[in-house]
A and B are shown apart, each in its own frame.
Chain A
Amino acid sequence: MHMMYFTEQPMSAYDAQAGLDYGATALNFSNSHYNPIEGSRLYNEYLEDYILAEEYGADGIMLNEHHNAPFCMQAKTNIFASILAATTKRVKIVILGNPLPLCDNPIRMAEELAMIDMISKGRLVPGFVRGGGQEQLASGVNPAFNRERFIEAHDLIQKIWSEPGPFRWEGTHYQHRVVNPWALPMQKPHPRIWVPGVLSKETIIWTAQQRYPYIALNTSIDHTKEIWKQYSDTAADCGYTAGPENFGYLIRVHVQDTEEKALANARQFMWMQGEFTGLAHPVWANPSGYFSPSGRRNFVQFATGRAKNPRGSPTFEQQVADTMIVAGTPSQVIEKLKYLVQHTRPGIMGIWANDGNVSKEDRQRCIKLLCGEVMPAIKEYGKTLGLNDPWEANAPVHLRYSTDLTTRKAAAE
């Protein structure tokens, strides 16, 4: 089992009341509330945290990016991945992910990732995402072509990593007359690509069709099982059997020496009213054309205040009771995570450990207990359940490199 440390890198040093007064903490919440002096301090502290996580035994550091919001300081995930490539020695650098549709030049994306892979000596996992709706608006990218751009940018990067250049790319959203970047990834045939997600069925199916691991982002146990079923059904259609190496699960966990302290800090997971992508107008999060047309009817009612948030707004206590948030001493957390692991059976696990206003001292204590005590126990437990990660399973990095496909797909064709 691959266990990663994750934080949203919260820009917690802003006036939270200002966000509440404005009624939103995303997209249009003014950057006049951003304090670069505090930003500098936090960036450097988060870097220290990552290095500590490696020192105490994490298998990977999971990174992401968001824009125009205090809940995540990483505006460009490749920047932190680059820094970690040089400042860490062992951990996998797992980007979940780069929002491909925001990228007007996928060649540059392929080059950046290749450089990170080489500098890290082959430790990069370059995951890809569609990016949230707000990210499209913050970047001026047309939400109506989000999925098309995601797939086409991915296909171009795949080709760059699979075939020698120069070649020409005349696509629908990307046209490049010369594709021949000299920076290429060190990992062959190419680095493992993982895809995280929460909601969209189309993404689950597409990910299974590539045979990429799908990382469910803090979904409920039942919802996670539905995702696995959707993925497994698609995998069967593609001629392979999905296993734990295809599944990842991100869960919010905070560990301290006492349960009381752990719970107090875990409340910080709710620091923006539990909306981890910030308080926002629904149409910012789901601009027209971004969403699956099948969700249109429900969404328009939610967006105009006629229906409740389909994701609900459970209280902290409810989320703790439902194991959506896990907090406690190492032994308490191990027990709860074993329950989660037993029921979700992931080969990859992301632990989102610190959010909001947790002091540096508490963050680092959490990291030490988490990476030093909890992760090894869960990895050991995972072994007994046969939960192998993609490296342990020697899984192909893409469907096309499979050697175990049944003829079902070929027969269907």
Chain B
Amino acid sequence: MSVAWTDEVKQIAGCKIHVSRAGTGRTVLVLHHDIGTPDRLPFYDALASKFDVIVPHHPGWGKSERPQWLRHPRDIAAMTAWLLSELGAKDVSVVGLGFGGWIAAEMASQSPQTFRRLVLVAPMGIKPPEGDIADQAIVSYIDYPQAGFHDQAAFETVFGGISIDQLEQWDICREMSFRTAWKPYMYSQTLPHLLGGVQTPSLVIWGDDDRIVPIGAGHAYTKALRNATMTTVAACGHFAEMEKPAEVAKLVTDFVNAG
């Protein structure tokens, strides 16, 4: 089934923010990874067949303009909340993917009752109790996304025949990751203390072979959030929604529809 997506641009905090939207039903906001996002993904289509899905490009990533002053994922969280308000979105559920999961957690921590459901897929944002979040600064543009897949065939399916445009995009995404999450790298020292207020029912999803964010961070998130459960996806890496789109979409769909 083909899904009709529409793209629009919203002016947020002085910057043009690109937003894709499709589907009807309950509103689901999807926040993409540190490596940006392809315009369309099977995961997005799967959600859009059930929900009203909003996929913005983070400020400075993809087609969204770079705010020179942007310094922290919390700034992106505030801009995204502003965006939702501009879009008039109500009773929103949020799906945060990796780095986008960190942004989602920041948003939830600042407004504990705002969201209907919170789904965090291998979110950055918390210092893993053991191990470290993989440092993309020291590996190539291709090696980093590759490391986020359990099965290299799945990487090829999503990114095969990597174009020069894609490499450039990854360099820009990496620069934005540095501009917003350089030190401490990819986590906040205060976020874990602020998650306890989040009343939104939350689901933490983790690939069982995540080589980017150690799974211990998932347990830490689940413990820190007041109302969270955790589930793992077998034979799956960090970019779970790209590697196992149907499976992750079903987990999200069931969770958002529940209750």
B7 at the A interface (CB under 8 A): no
Could you tell me the dominant secondary structure of chain A's interface residues? helix
Chain A residues whose CB sits within 8 angstroms of the CB of B170 once the complex forms: 300
Which of the candidate stretches B135-143, B232-240, B247-255 sits at the interface with the other chain? B135-143
Among the listed B140, B177, B183, which residue makes an inter-chain contact with A283, where contact means beta carbons less than 8 Å apart?
B140
Q: Cβ of A144 and Cβ of B164 under 8 Å apart?
A: no
B5 at the A interface (CB under 8 A): no
Q: Cβ of B138 and Cβ of A137 under 8 Å apart?
A: yes
Chain B residues whose CB sits within 8 angstroms of the CB of A369 once the complex forms: none
Chain A residues whose CB sits within 8 angstroms of the CB of B39 once the complex forms: none
Q: Cβ of B178 and Cβ of A289 under 8 Å apart?
A: yes
A320 to B: closest C-beta gap in Å: 33
B246 to A: closest C-beta gap in Å: 31
Q: Cβ of A288 and Cβ of B140 under 8 Å apart?
A: no
Bound Cα distance from A296 to B168, whole angstroms? 7
Bound Cα distance from A296 to B140, whole angstroms? 14
Q: Cβ of B183 and Cβ of A140 under 8 Å apart?
A: yes
Bound Cα distance from A341 to B164, whole angstroms? 41
Chain A residues whose CB sits within 8 angstroms of the CB of B171 once the complex forms: 288, 296, 299-300
Bound Cα distance from A137 to B135, whole angstroms? 11
0/1 per residue, A284-298, Cβ < 8 Å to B?
A: 100111000000110
Q: Given A296-B168, A297-B164, A301-B167, are A144 and B179 also a contact pair (CB < 8 Å)?
A: yes
Bound Cα distance from A208 to B107, whole angstroms? 46
B174 at the A interface (CB under 8 A): yes
Q: Cβ of B137 and Cβ of A144 under 8 Å apart?
A: no
A48 to B: closest C-beta gap in Å: 37
Q: Cβ of A28 and Cβ of B174 under 8 Å apart?
A: no
0/1 per residue, B133-159, Cβ < 8 Å to A?
A: 000011111100000000000000000
Bound Cα distance from A284 to B143, whole angstroms? 14
Within 8 A of A (CB), among B165-204: 167-168, 170-172, 174-175, 177-179, 182-183
Q: Which residue of B lies closest to A140 (CB)?
A: B183
Q: Cβ of B138 and Cβ of A304 under 8 Å apart?
A: no
Among the listed A143, A281, A284, A306, which residue makes an inter-chain contact with B178, where contact means beta carbons less than 8 Å apart?
A143
- Given contacts A283-B138, A287-B178, A296-B172, 16 further A-B pairs with CB under 8 A are A144-B178, A144-B179, A144-B182, A145-B179, A283-B139, A288-B137, A288-B172, A296-B168, A297-B164, A300-B164, A300-B167, A300-B170, A300-B171, A301-B164, A304-B140, A304-B142
- Can you report 26 residue pairs joining A to B where beta carbons are below 8 Å apart? A28-B138, A137-B137, A137-B138, A142-B182, A143-B178, A144-B175, A281-B138, A282-B140, A283-B137, A283-B140, A288-B137, A288-B175, A288-B178, A289-B174, A289-B175, A289-B178, A289-B179, A296-B172, A297-B168, A300-B164, A300-B170, A300-B171, A301-B164, A304-B140, A304-B141, A306-B164
Task: List residues of B whose CB falls within 8 A of some A CB.
Answer: 137-142, 162, 164, 167-168, 170-172, 174-175, 177-179, 182-183
Bound Cα distance from A109 to B183, whole angstroms? 23
Bound Cα distance from A145 to B137, whole angstroms? 15
Task: List residues of A whose CB falls within 8 A of some B CB.
Answer: 27-28, 137, 140, 142-145, 281-284, 287-289, 296-297, 299-301, 303-304, 306
Q: Which residue of A lies closest to B137 (CB)?
A: A287
Bound Cα distance from A142 to B137, whole angstroms? 10
Chain B residues whose CB sits within 8 angstroms of the CB of A145 once the complex forms: 179
Q: Identify which of B167, B171, B174, B177 gathers the most chain A CB atoms within 10 Å of its CB.
A: B171
A196 to B: closest C-beta gap in Å: 25
Bound Cα distance from A284 to B138, whole angstroms? 6
Bound Cα distance from A289 to B170, whole angstroms? 12
Chain B residues whose CB sits within 8 angstroms of the CB of A299 once the complex forms: 171
Bound Cα distance from A303 to B143, whole angstroms? 11
Q: Given A296-B171, A300-B164, are A281 and B140 also a contact pair (CB < 8 Å)?
A: yes
The 6 closest A-B pairs by CB, nearest first: A288-B174, A300-B167, A289-B175, A288-B175, A142-B182, A144-B178
A73 to B: closest C-beta gap in Å: 23
Bound Cα distance from A273 to B153, whole angstroms? 36
Bound Cα distance from A28 to B105, whole angstroms? 33
Bound Cα distance from A300 to B173, whole angstroms? 13
Q: Given A288-B171, A288-B174, are A303 and B179 also a contact pair (CB < 8 Å)?
A: no
Among the listed B164, B174, B183, which residue makes an inter-chain contact with A142, where contact means beta carbons less than 8 Å apart?
B183
Chain B residues whose CB sits within 8 angstroms of the CB of A144 once the complex forms: 175, 178-179, 182
Bound Cα distance from A73 to B141, whole angstroms? 31
Q: Cβ of B141 and Cβ of A303 under 8 Å apart?
A: yes
Bound Cα distance from A28 to B135, whole angstroms? 13
Bound Cα distance from A143 to B175, whole angstroms? 8
Chain A residues whose CB sits within 8 angstroms of the CB of B141 once the complex forms: 283, 300, 303-304
Q: Given A137-B138, A142-B182, A142-B183, are A300 and B175 also a contact pair (CB < 8 Å)?
A: no
B206 to A: closest C-beta gap in Å: 27
Bound Cα distance from A69 to B162, whole angstroms? 33
Chain B residues whose CB sits within 8 angstroms of the CB of A282 once the complex forms: 140
Chain B residues whose CB sits within 8 angstroms of the CB of A283 once the complex forms: 137-141
Chain B residues whose CB sits within 8 angstroms of the CB of A289 once the complex forms: 174-175, 178-179
Chain B residues whose CB sits within 8 angstroms of the CB of A137 once the complex forms: 137-138
A300 to B: closest C-beta gap in Å: 4
Chain A residues whose CB sits within 8 angstroms of the CB of B137 once the complex forms: 137, 143, 283, 287-288
